[in-house]
């Protein structure tokens, strides 16, 4: 019986996947920053206002983690994903402030089956994340590994 999970073959160049919405609270920002990035602008509203970020703002790495969760909920959670080799580029273009709600789009740039890893393909994706005002807060590019449907069907 064929699976309904997204497999490598479904990631056709140009295909887009919507992401979010994901609300970001002050509590979330402070909890993440306390563990991983305890800089004043990520821990305290007044310190954030005094910084170049202009308010209590999420660590850039928190924004990345949130985006990962948006990928999972948007498409990767129902796919043959086998992880990723890294991040090609990630730009934190505007602060993600307490109370913001993020959404966005992942777009397939390219896809190729891997000679070195039979049954797997690499999918290159570009992501754009916006806040509730439609302002782009982050763009990222990376590749992920996805199992081939033909492989899955045969196992």
Q: Point out which residues bind a copy of itself (CB under 8 A).
A: 32, 35-39, 41, 51-53, 59-62, 64-66, 68-69, 72, 76-77, 81-93, 117, 120, 138, 145
DSSP H/E element including 34? helix 26-36
CB of 91 to a copy of itself, least distance (A): 4
Please, what's the b/e burial string for 2-34 (b: 16 or more CB within 10 A of its CB; e: otherwise)?
A: eeebbbbbbbeeeeebebbebebebeebbebbe
51: its two tokens: 């910084």
Shortest distance, CB of residue 124 to a copy of itself, whole angstroms?
14
In the complex, minimum distance from the CB of residue 37 to a copy of itself, in angstroms, rounded to a whole number: 5
Q: For residues 42 and 28, is the Cβ–Cβ distance under 8 A? A: no
State the Cα–Cα distance between residues 18 and 102, nearest whole angstrom: 11
CB of 120 vs a copy of itself, minimal distance in Å? 7
What is the closest distance, in whole angstroms, from the C-beta atom of residue 14 to a copy of itself in the complex?
25
Nearer to a copy of itself, 93 or 153 (CB): 93
Q: Which is nearer to a copy of itself, 142 or 149 (CB)?
A: 142
- Please tell me whether residue 25 adopts helix, strand or coil conformation: coil
Lookup result for tokens 């979010």: 20
Among residues 60 and 99, whose Cβ is nearest to a copy of itself?
Answer: 60
Nearer to a copy of itself, 87 or 153 (CB): 87
Q: Of 14 and 86, which CB lies nearer to a copy of itself in the complex structure? A: 86
Q: Is the peptide bond before 150 cis (omega within 30 degrees of 0)?
A: no
């Amino acid at each position: 019986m064929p699976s309904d999970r997204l497999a490598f073959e479904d990631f056709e160049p140009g295909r887009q996947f919507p992401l979010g919405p994901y609300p970001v609270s002050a509590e979330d920002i402070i909890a993440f920053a306390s563990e991983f990035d305890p800089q004043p602008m990520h821990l305290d509203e007044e310190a954030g206002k005094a910084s170049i970020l202009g308010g209590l703002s999420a660590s850039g790495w928190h924004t990345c983690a949130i985006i990962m969760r948006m990928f999972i909920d948007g498409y990767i959670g129902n796919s043959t994903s086998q992880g990723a080799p890294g991040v090609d580029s990630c730009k934190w273009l505007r602060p993600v402030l307490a109370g913001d709600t993020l959404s966005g789009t992942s777009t397939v740039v390219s896809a190729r089956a891997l000679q070195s890893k039979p049954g797997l393909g690499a999918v290159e994706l570009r992501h754009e994340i916006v806040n509730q005002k439609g302002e782009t807060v982050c763009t990222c590019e990376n590749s992920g590994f996805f199992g081939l449907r033909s492989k899955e069907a045969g196992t």
